Amino acid sequence: MKKMLHILATTLLVVPMLASAHGPTRQAVQEKITINASPDKVWAMVKDFGGLHNWHPAVASTDLKDEKTRVLTLAADGNPTITEELIKSDDDKMMVNYKITDMSVVKTITFNSKDTPYYTLPVSTYKAWLTVKAAGTGSEVIWKAKFYRSFMDNPPTPEGQSDEDAVNAITGVFTSGLQNLKTIMEK
């Protein structure tokens, strides 16, 4: 018994150091902004699935492939793209829900002797929700996303591909977008 306990104790100490394959954990980002414009007016802008370039400063163009699929081309070097699919658009709740289905590969590096791609955004299995709510005499816009980092193996993660990097990238996309939406709607 003593021997068994000793083996057990040793195993408990050693095993955590051996990295075993497991998936990363799901991350979430939520950003809000209040806009001095009516919810109807803001919702009309936000619900237009083919019109993200009209208010998001990072998006150069939106190519609506069909009513549920858009390809965003970003205003950045190499014109990286993001393909998104509309999951649902709810006029009653003033909520649009969509997901990323594809992204262009910006570059590929070798990390831990494996080819490791860098996508337009360092995320995977990404879903987002954009909701407009009445707030006082104006509106509140809530932009929320749930996703995993793009790098699926255990840490260490390649530069720019940690959970924190993924959260920071999406936070940046949301805050810049919401800020510009506010500017346009309050003009």
**DSSP-derived secondary structure for 103-145:** E-EEEEEEETTEEEEEESSSEEEEEEEEEEEEETTEEEEEEEE
- Interface with other proteins includes 7 (CB under 8 A)? no
- Interface with other proteins includes 20 (CB under 8 A)? yes
Angle at 160 between CA 154 and CA 164, to 5 degrees: 70
Q: Which stretch binds other proteins (CB under 8 A): 7-15, 47-55, 74-82, 156-164?
A: 7-15
Q: Which has the closest alpha carbon to 82: 52, 41, 40, 42?
A: 52
Task: Choose, by CB under 8 A, the member of 6, 7, 10, 28 that binds other proteins.
Answer: 28
Other CB atoms within a 10 A radius of the CB of residue 111 amount to 15
Q: Which stretch binds other proteins (CB under 8 A): 12-20, 34-42, 73-81, 107-115?
A: 12-20
- Interface with other proteins includes 16 (CB under 8 A)? yes
Q: Which residues bind other proteins (CB under 8 A)?
A: 8, 12-13, 15-16, 20-23, 28, 30, 87, 97, 127, 144, 146
